[in-house]
A and B are shown apart, each in its own frame.
Chain A
């Protein structure tokens, strides 16, 4: 029923007697309240129906399997698992369930279950995501789970991270300065704010795996390592001389200039680090720096 009719009554009747208008207004309010209640009921029912459906329901996972040593697994294949769903279930929960209940040889890295350890970046339904931070309910079935692309597969969902670590280590990823004070070293709030996002990286490798350029050029430092360098380059506590030194690293042949602003790194980063923005800022910084010498 529409609430508009009584509202009109209210307007009209306000010219009439007080009592009438009050009762009309009251009527209108009650009407609205009933409506709202009905709506809520409906919603609850719908939600309950959904929950019942999903609680009974299972999710179908298609999981990439490969083991270099086990006969039958040497040829990569996909295994299917039907995992019973409960609200709040994540991709990682589903994998753990499949492993503990169906096949204990299903292998994947995981630890914190809360998006801080960076172990479980996976390729889920065509996109790099953290298993623990991805709700099953946000995905279409069947849920296809693969190891990160562009990295060597060790076994099942486990990839070799060595190359990623090498790139991270290549940018001198540590604080260094030539003048340290005795006590606290002050830093302005603005400067801390500037580097804040860049410090959030959990080394999951999702960005690197999503970048076409990194896939084509093994020497490319990649978004995560460049972001790491950004974190220190922009930290004013290191001092100007260090900044110059860091810019030289960034400007190497396989450094910032390799980035073609494809943005996929930024899109997949589970910590929402604006990677492309940081890379671009370093490019501009490099140009500015160089203009001084040209």
Chain B
């Protein structure tokens, strides 16, 4: 058993920042990550990181823009924390050497971004995330912080009091991918989850293969509520075969979208008569899909994004990397041919419920980054707001876990304070397929633990979690036949993309729930063909698939419950925002193997003012 003060799970932007902060606070900290830190998906971020740094800009303006962008589903204390701390964090990154692009006068460059009233998106070329990830990893090396890389965290060691808000997290269990052993990590002061997005719930995503939402799934099953899971951002221009993102810059420079008949559909079919291709992400995504559904897509799958008319010179000057992306990942030369594009899953606004200090309702358990939901993005994230979230909340979580004093949080977590129960009509029973309490180890749903009422010592809890996990892994490896996870995962991903995509209607959402139920049943039968204990990716992916299933279900349940159109969430039955009923977060708790739906009101009271919901018109 390894032992540290603070254990950080995940080594993307959020995890690295948390580890550095915890160490600066004096803690003995270690990172456990299934990928080597520099392989994390933060490296893919291109656009930039928002911070009010310049004269004429202020954190208040940034907060206002963010609240408006969230369609009034963000919590003011979290948003204000983000905007207040971000400038300091960006300067910190610069002091760590991050190679930001520079203005003539030598200061960091900033550019305008959608939904921002000031050009405050600080960037390093088209590779801000790469620079950020590597800069922070370098600081980790400098500080000699221990990294257990290629260790896959499979379970949290949490005490088992009846009420989740009484529970405590004592560590994690992880599988050493290279040599194949399970081991326990005891955390004396806290565990911080920073496992990134759940893009793999969908079959077409800009996210990495490793983004399977392990953190939210583990926290969910340990009793932490998931918040606002239905809000998924889809990016309208991704390459069909890989999901690689084609930046908005192409449309910004004048790129045109065509359907199969060569019609400029944004205008010709009236999706956005004013803005055309420049309409917001959700509008363009919906337009593209409408075209494809109406049979006007190319190969019934995608539309064309054409920039040839811009001329080679201009393209090479401003969009050179796009030429390479299209060639390398799609085999298309955009100087000669239009690029195929379609909407792809891009970002999850929801996640593990935390307060503005990064803490969840289980004490000693924290979350930061895309896997968390302190609720800064509400129902829709603005471009450039995820990277500051990583550093600001990563740092806070690290500090708090290491015992730093950040004051009492204003946001409440767990079923405390103001909340109401919810209900949703589902066609099949969601949650575990086996009856609650039944001994199902194979699917990781819990199993052998009988409640101790929270009376064990921390070491015992960690040991018990390790034992449970051993049993699970052994049973997965013991089976010699059954189904393979790849098939199950692919089915769910397909169903999610078909039914819980940009367009959501009741029938489709219900179909998705049926498909997920089906998948859960098949998963009872899952087996791992590869018996090797060396680098067994078959095993890892089989475990991941279980997490994908839980998250797919959470997303769909939220989407089914919320019958309004807010931010990224569009419902056919109710195509407008309904503030009277829906100014509240969708919460899902895992209770004895069943998702329990409830709601918590949005916090619109900021430090100095209360945000008034306004129409979001862009």
Q: Which residues does chain B contribute within 8 Å of A113, judged by CB atoms?
A: 208-209, 242-244, 329
B107–A184 contact, CB under 8 A?
yes
Q: How far is the CA of A19 from the CA of B208 in the complex (A)?
A: 66
Q: Mark B335-372, 1 if CB is under 8 A from A, else 0.
A: 00000000000000000000000000000000000000
- Chain A residues near B209 (CB, 8 Å)? 110-113
Mark A160-172 against chain B: 1 for CB-CB distance below 8 A, else 0. 0100010001001
Main secondary structure on B side of the interface with A: loop
Q: Is the CB of A111 within 8 A of B208?
A: yes
Contacting residues of chain B (127-169) with chain A, CB-CB under 8 angstroms: 127, 129-131, 134-135, 138-139, 141-142
Q: Given A67-B534, A105-B530, A200-B127, do A118 and B38 touch, yes or no (CB 8 Å)?
A: yes
B239 within 8 A of A: yes
A196's contact among B99, B245, B490, B531, by CB below 8 Å, is which? B99
Q: Does B448 contact A (CB under 8 A)?
A: no
Q: Look across to chain B and name the residue whose beta carbon is closest to the beta carbon of A161.
A: B36
- CA separation between A113 and B206, bound complex, in Å? 9
* Residue in A closest to B147 when the chains form the complex, CB atoms: A165
The answer to whether B102 touches A188, judged by C-beta atoms less than 8 angstroms apart, is: yes
B97 part of interface (Cβ distance < 8 Å): yes
Q: Please, which residue of chain A has its CB at the minimum distance from the CB of B210? A: A111
Smallest CB separation, B50 vs chain A (Å):
16
* Binary interface encoding of chain A residues 102-140 relative to chain B, with 1 for a CB under 8 A from any of its CBs, else 0: 011101111111111111000000000000111101000
Q: How far apart are the CA atoms of A130 and B40 in the complex, in Å?
A: 16
Residues of B near A200 (CB, < 8 A) are 127, 130
- Taking CB atoms, residues of chain A closer than 8 Å to B313 are none
Closest residue of chain B to A165, judged by CB?
B36
B535 CB contact (under 8 Å) in A154, A186, A235: A154
Does B575 reach chain A (CB closer than 8 Å)? no
Q: Which of A113, A135, A185 has the most CB of B within 10 A?
A: A113
CB neighbours (8 Å) of B210 from chain A are 111
Q: Say whether A176 faces chain B, with CB atoms less than 8 Å apart.
A: yes
- CB–CB B530/A183 < 8 A: no
B-contacting 9-mer, from A7-15, A83-91, A258-266: A83-91
**Interchain CB contact (< 8 A) of B35 among A88, A99, A111, A172:** A111
What residues of A have a CB within 8 angstroms of the CB of B240 in the complex? 88
B 506-537 binary contact with A (CB < 8 Å = 1; else 0): 00000000000000000000001111111111
Q: Which residues of chain B are within 8 angstroms of A133 by Cβ–Cβ distance? A: 328-329
Q: Is the Cβ of A119 less than 8 Å from the Cβ of B97? A: no
Known: A132-B242, A173-B141, A184-B107. A88 touches B535 (CB 8 A): no
Given A93-B242, A113-B244: A155 touches B532 (CB 8 Å cut-off): yes
* A108 partner residues in chain B, CB cutoff 8 A: 537
Distance of A175 Cα from B302 Cα, bound (Å): 44
Closest beta carbon of chain B to A181's beta carbon, Å: 9
**Cβ of A137 and Cβ of B532 under 8 Å apart?**
no
A184 to B244, Cβ gap below 8 A? no
Q: How far is the CB of B57 from chain A (nearest CB, A)?
A: 14
Q: Quick check: is B481 within 8 A (CB to CB) of the other chain?
A: no
> Which segment, of B88-96, B213-221, B566-574, B593-601, faces chain A?
B88-96
Task: Tell me how far the C-beta of B13 lies from the nearest C-beta in chain A, rounded to whole angstroms.
Answer: 13
In angstroms, Cα B532 to Cα A101, docked, is 19
The answer to whether residues A70 and B531 also contact, given A185-B95, A186-B105 and a CB cut-off of 8 A, is yes
Q: Report the interface size for chain B: residues with CB under 8 A from the other chain.
A: 68
Q: Digit string of A180-196 for contact with B (CB within 8 Å is 1, else 0)?
A: 10011111110010011
**Chain A: CB-nearest residue to B211:** A111
Is there a chain B Cβ closer than 8 Å to A45's Cβ? no
- Interface hub of B104, B139, B142 (most chain A Cβ within 10 A): B142
Across the interface, do B106 and A186 meet the contact criterion of CB distance under 8 Å?
yes
CB distance B138 to A189 under 8 Å? no
Contacts of A294 on B, CB cut-off 8 Å? none
Q: How far is the CA of A186 from the CA of B107 in the complex (A)?
A: 5
Is B44 interfacial (CB-CB < 8 Å)? Answer: yes
Partner-A contacts on B (CB < 8 A): 35-36, 38-41, 43-44, 53, 91, 94-97, 99-108, 124-125, 127, 129-131, 134-135, 138-139, 141-142, 178, 208-210, 239-245, 325, 327-332, 484, 486, 490, 528-538
* Beyond known contacts A107-B535, A111-B35, A187-B102: 15 more, CB 8 A cutoff: A88-B331, A104-B484, A107-B530, A107-B537, A117-B35, A117-B43, A137-B331, A174-B97, A184-B53, A184-B91, A184-B107, A186-B107, A196-B125, A232-B97, A235-B99
Which 8 pairs show the lowest CB-CB distances between chains A and B? Answer: A175-B97, A186-B106, A105-B530, A174-B138, A88-B241, A100-B486, A174-B142, A117-B39
Give A contacts to B, CB under 8 Å.
Answer: 67-70, 86-90, 93, 99-101, 103-105, 107-119, 132-135, 137, 154-156, 158, 161, 165, 169, 172-176, 180, 183-189, 192, 195-196, 199-203, 232, 235, 237
Can you name 22 A-B residue pairings with CB atoms under 8 Å?
A68-B534, A88-B242, A93-B242, A104-B486, A107-B530, A107-B535, A108-B537, A111-B35, A113-B243, A117-B43, A133-B328, A134-B328, A154-B178, A165-B36, A173-B138, A184-B94, A188-B102, A189-B102, A189-B104, A196-B125, A199-B124, A202-B130
